[in-house]
């Protein structure tokens, strides 16, 4: 794959090269490159393909024996290279054959429907079609195809422009002249152009996709992969939504950020000349299954390329849940994105929910009626939890609602912290389809609202113990706290007593299959653990992320209040990247600037990122992609933090250049923006939070910085009969992500097939 060019060839994927003589002489064979997708994962009825012919001699191309040579048109940028949009493909396999220089090259294609699935497993059920409620910029709605289980709708192309007054207006058609009240933009070449957009809305992979690009209807009348819109800067950004709770079983009625909204996040990119693409299934509020998000993003980008051509590079950008998706998709699908910008990020959903499990167990213990629980002072509770404030502890405990499928359950409360909210549902999904184990509303065969069950295609399933008939199933779980010594750091520091440490760990308990608090510790499924790592549900950091620039922004800071966007999560991402590659030299972090407007912060950050991306693009060296990325990082693009400045303050006023670290007052930035930790780290676990289940070792008195009596040591061994966590070892079943993983139907890189379970 050429640097910053989406596309694969037979050789690039390691497929079999089929070359042969066309006579008594044989020369260098032509070379195929599928520009729009991997050749083994083509979607829809067409594919954008390039053919390079050495010597630029005459050639012939066939598709399954039918001659299609005339479809290939010269690439104006490269002599001897030809490009074709090959249509009429049907689901299944096809073979392209090119002959030139008395040699033959074959390129197999595997084609999947535009409705999916490709590699995310069988379509999740139930699934609520909502295209008829999806609002377009002019106020109209999509027209869904009646009784279509794939939730398809008619494609709509609209034209709109931003006015000098700010709001957007619609153009009546593709050739309508742009009115005089249109705002203008200046291109990279310094040319002033109208701020007019072509917005296409269609259904892809059961989601609603939208692609937008600067477009002058009077001039760009023949838009295509060889004639892209003149005002487009040939860069693409893929965007997402935010929050995860409730993100399951629906198509979605809105993108994460709407097009045609003055001041919206999409406008930040369109106003710089970028094309923008997204899909409702990339809005975590509609879909929290990151493998399904990855599939939807790859398919939507593929569609964009087939309509407008391959971009110079593709950025991925997201905040919160969108930042999770940006990082995980970039990592699990190497080559799909060339750079990542994220803010208010987490490593993955599992680290959010896993740390929430620990926090929830702690608050349940601290608020219990046990005498030992009341012995903990507020300061001791925080030392055990790692958080900066009790409100932070309780708020993060409530994030366990993402895992809890039982409606109506409550959790201990705290002033100023919103109530625990399990079984988050889109209100449009009928009650009859929802899982509910409560006696009065018993429905064991309903769908379960949780981040685990919505990804059952990866984890696998087992029978629900509540259902005697054996018909109801639940997803296998990757959550575990066996061997975790809560409060270990506080014990060793002398902050809590040995008695408190023992009482806490004897009483902490865990959760059962339905997230009911129980006395026994939680035990993960080995199969679920293995597939979580292999399928990329746990961010690895050393796959695609190892070879692209990553720019991390943190302009939200509330380490002692009701907040779960915490700084340790940013450092956990960096730590995973460093563990995987030896360092995190391709990762830059900016923190602070809370009172600056987002537009001010993002404009400066995007400009800095563009400088980095453009330098990589211009580098014609032969080093590895990672080496090229690191070498071309601008000298002035360094870690740092902003002091709080008045709204609208100039950028980057009061920027402190300093390597960002996790801490409270050990550096200039940490004095301004102190950062706290989490309970698993205070139990001896890694900052990276990438060990879902630890390996165990025998209890040994020498491992503690305090003296344990013989009775205390015996009690500790009884609390942990199988041993305590050995954090020096990898986690149980911990492994690298499989690049471009599949759980079906694609057999390539398949890590699991639930249909065979």
Residue 160: how many CA atoms within 13 Å on its side-chain side? 22
Q: Which residues of the chain fall short of a pLDDT of 70? A: 1-26, 594-600, 645-653
d(CA 553, CA 538): 21
* pLDDT tens digits along 80-96: 999 999 999 999 999 99
What is the DSSP secondary-structure string of 346-399?
Answer: -S-HHHHHHHHHHHHHHHHHHTSS-HHHHT--HHHHHHHH--SSHHHHHHHHGG
Question: By three-state DSSP, how is residue 281 classified?
Answer: helix
In order of 373, 594, 638, 640, 641, the CA distances from 667 in angstroms are 35, 19, 16, 11, 11
In order of 313, 350, 660, the CA distances from 631 in angstroms are 18, 33, 20
d(CA 184, CA 593): 29
| Backbone conformation region of residue 493, classed left if phi is above 0, alpha if psi is from -120 to 50, else beta | alpha
According to the CATH classification, is domain 10-112 in 2.60.120.260?
no
> Of the candidates 16, 532, 107, 573, which has an alpha carbon nearest to the alpha carbon of residue 290?
532
Amino acid 11: pLDDT: 42
* DSSP bridge partners of 198: 159, 213
Contact between residue 559 and residue 567 where contact means Cβ atoms under 8 Å apart: yes
Please give the backbone phi and psi of residue 736, each rounded to the nearest 5 degrees, phi first.
-70, 155
Cα–chain center distance at 328 = 4
Name residues whose C-beta falls within 8 Å of residue 51's C-beta, 6 or more positions apart in sequence.
30, 31, 32, 33, 59, 61, 72, 81, 82, 83, 84, 98
* pLDDT tens digits along 329-367: 999 999 999 999 999 999 999 999 999 999 999 999 999
> Of the candidates 290, 413, 402, which has an alpha carbon nearest to the alpha carbon of residue 355?
402
Question: By three-state DSSP, how is residue 104 classified?
Answer: strand
d(CA 207, CA 519): 42
Amino acid 24: pLDDT: 35
Amino acid 602: pLDDT: 78
Amino acid 2: pLDDT: 36
Stated pTM of the model: 0.95
Amino acid 594: pLDDT: 66
In order of 235, 309, 467, 514, 691, the CA distances from 275 in angstroms are 6, 11, 50, 44, 38
Contact between residue 672 and residue 714 where contact means Cβ atoms under 8 Å apart: no
> Of the candidates 298, 455, 489, which has an alpha carbon nearest to the alpha carbon of residue 386?
489
What is the DSSP secondary-structure string of 622-668?
Answer: -S-HHHHHHHTS-TT---EEE----TT--TTTTEEE----S-SSSSH
Amino acid 646: pLDDT: 59
Map out the domains of the chain as residue ranges.
10-112, 131-311, 350-533+693-725, 540-679
């Amino acid at each position: 794959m050429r640097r910053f060019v989406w596309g694969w060839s037979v050789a690039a994927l390691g497929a079999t090269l089929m070359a042969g003589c066309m006579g008594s002489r044989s020369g260098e064979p032509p070379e195929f490159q599928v520009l729009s997708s991997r050749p083994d994962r083509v979607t829809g009825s067409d594919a954008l393909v390039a053919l390079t012919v050495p010597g630029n001699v005459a050639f012939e191309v066939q598709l399954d024996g039918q001659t299609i040579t005339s479809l290939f048109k010269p690439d104006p940028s490269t002599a001897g290279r030809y490009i074709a949009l090959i249509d009429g493909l049907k689901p299944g396999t096809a073979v392209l054959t090119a002959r030139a220089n008395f040699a033959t090259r074959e390129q197999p294609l595997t084609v999947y429907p535009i409705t999916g699935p490709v590699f995310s497993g069988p379509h999740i059920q139930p699934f609520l079609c909502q295209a008829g409620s999806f609002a377009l910029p002019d106020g109209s709605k999509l027209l869904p195809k009646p009784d279509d289980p794939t939730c398809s709708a008619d494609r709509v192309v609209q034209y709109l422009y931003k006015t000098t007054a700010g709001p957007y207006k619609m153009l009546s058609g593709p050739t309508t002249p742009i009115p005089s009240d249109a705002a203008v933009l200046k291109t990279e070449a310094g040319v002033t152009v109208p701020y007019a957009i072509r917005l296409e809305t269609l259904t892809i992979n059961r989601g609603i996709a939208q692609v937008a690009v600067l477009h002058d209807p009077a001039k760009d009348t023949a838009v295509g992969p060889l004639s892209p819109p003149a005002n487009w800067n040939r860069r693409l950004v893929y965007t997402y939504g935010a929050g995860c709770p409730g993100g399951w079983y629906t198509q979605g009625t809105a993108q994460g950020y709407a097009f045609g909204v003055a001041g919206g996040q999409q406008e930040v990119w369109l106003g710089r000349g970028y094309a923008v693409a997204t899909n409702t299934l990339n809005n975590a509020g509609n879909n929290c299954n990151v493998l399904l998000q990855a599939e939807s993003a790859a398919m939507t980008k593929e569609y964009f390329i087939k309509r407008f051509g391959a971009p110079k590079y593709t950025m991925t950008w997201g905040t919160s849940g969108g930042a999770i998706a940006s990082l995980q998709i970039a990592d699990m699908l190497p080559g799909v994105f060339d750079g990542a910008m994220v803010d208010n990020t987490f490593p993955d959903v599992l680290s959010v929910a896993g740390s929430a499990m620990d926090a929830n167990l702690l608050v349940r213990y601290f608020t219990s009626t046990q005498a030992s629980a009341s012995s903990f002072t507020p300061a001791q509770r925080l030392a055990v939890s790692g958080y900066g404030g009790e409100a932070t502890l309780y708020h993060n405990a409530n994030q366990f609602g993402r895992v809890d499928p039982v409606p109506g359950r409550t959790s201990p409360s705290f002033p100023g912290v919103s109530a625990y909210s399990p079984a988050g549902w889109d209100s449009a999904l009928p009650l009859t389809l929802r899982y509910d184990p409560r006696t009065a509303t018993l429905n064991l065969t309903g769908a379960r609202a949780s981040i685990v069950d919505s990804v059952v295609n990866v984890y696998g399933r087992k029978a629900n113990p509540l259902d005697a008939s054996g018909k109801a199933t639940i997803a296998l779980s990757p959550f575990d706290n066996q061997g975790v010594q809560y409060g270990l750091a506080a014990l060793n520091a002398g902050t809590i007593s040995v008695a408190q440490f023992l009482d806490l760990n004897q009483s902490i308990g865990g959760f059962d299959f339905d997230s009911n608090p129980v006395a026994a510790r939680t035990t993960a499924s080995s199969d679920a653990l293995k597939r979580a790592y292999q399928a990329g549900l746990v961010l690895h950091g050393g796959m695609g992320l190892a070879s692209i620039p990553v720019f991390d922004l943190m302009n939200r800071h509330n380490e002692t209040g009701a907040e779960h966007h915490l700084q340790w999560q940013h450092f956990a991402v960096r730590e995973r990247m460093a563990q995987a590659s030896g360092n995190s030299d391709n990762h830059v972090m900016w923190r602070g600037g809370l009172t600056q407007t987002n537009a001010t912060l993002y404009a400066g950050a995007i400009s800095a990122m563009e400088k980095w991306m453009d330098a990589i693009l211009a580098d014609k060296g032969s080093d590895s992609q990672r080496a090229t990325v690191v070498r071309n990082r601008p000298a002035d693009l360094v870690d740092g933090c902003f002091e709080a400045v008045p709204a609208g303050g100039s950028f980057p006023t009061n920027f402190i250049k300093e390597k960002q670290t996790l801490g409270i007052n050990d550096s200039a930035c940490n004095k301004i923006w102190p950062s706290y930790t989490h309970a698993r780290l205070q139990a001896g676990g890694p900052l990276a939070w990438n060990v879902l289940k630890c390996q165990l070792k025998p209890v040994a008195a020498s491992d503690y910085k305090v003296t344990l009596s013989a009775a205390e040591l015996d009690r500790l061994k009884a609390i942990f009969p199988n041993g305590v966590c050995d954090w020096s070892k990898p986690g149980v079943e911990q492994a690298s992500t499989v690049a471009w993983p599949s759980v079906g139907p694609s057999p390539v890189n398949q890590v699991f097939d639930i249909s065979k379970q």
